[in-house]
Amino acid sequence: MTQSNLERLIFHADLDAFYVEVERQYDHSLRGKPVIVGGMGPRGVVSTASYEAREFGVHSAQSTVVARKLCPEGTFLPSNHALYSEISKKFMAILREFSPIVISVSIDEAYLDMTGTKDIYGPPQKAAEEIRKNIQNGIGLPVSIGIGPNRLVAKVCTEYAKPDGIFQIQQVEAENFFGPQPVRNLPGIGPKAEEALGNLNIFTLKQLANAPVGLLRRALGPNRADYIRPRARGIDNEPLQERGKAKSISAETTFETDISGQSEMIKIVKQLSERVGARLRKSGQLARGATIKLRYRDFTTITRQRTFPNPNDGDQAIYETAQALLVKAMKERRESIRLIGVSVTGLGPKATQLSLLDTHPTADSDTSFALDRIRDRFGNEAISRGTQ
Catalytic center residues: 109
CB crowding 52-76: b at 16 or more within 10 Å, else e: bbbebebebebebeebeebbeebbb
Beta strands in the chain (DSSP E): 10-15, 35-38, 46-49, 75-77, 102-106, 109-113, 143-148, 166-168, 248-259, 285-296, 301-312, 337-345, 348-349
Q: Are 205 and 181 in contact (CB under 8 A)?
A: yes
DSSP-derived secondary structure letter, 185: G
Q: Per DSSP, what are the bridge partners of residue 285?
A: 349
Distance of CA 100 to CAs 33, 40, 94, 113, 240, Å? 38, 39, 11, 8, 12
Separation of alpha carbons 208 and 91, rounded Å: 37
Q: Are 236 and 153 in contact (CB under 8 A)?
A: yes
Residue 310, judged by CB atoms within 10 A of its CB (0-12, 13-18, 19+), counts as middle
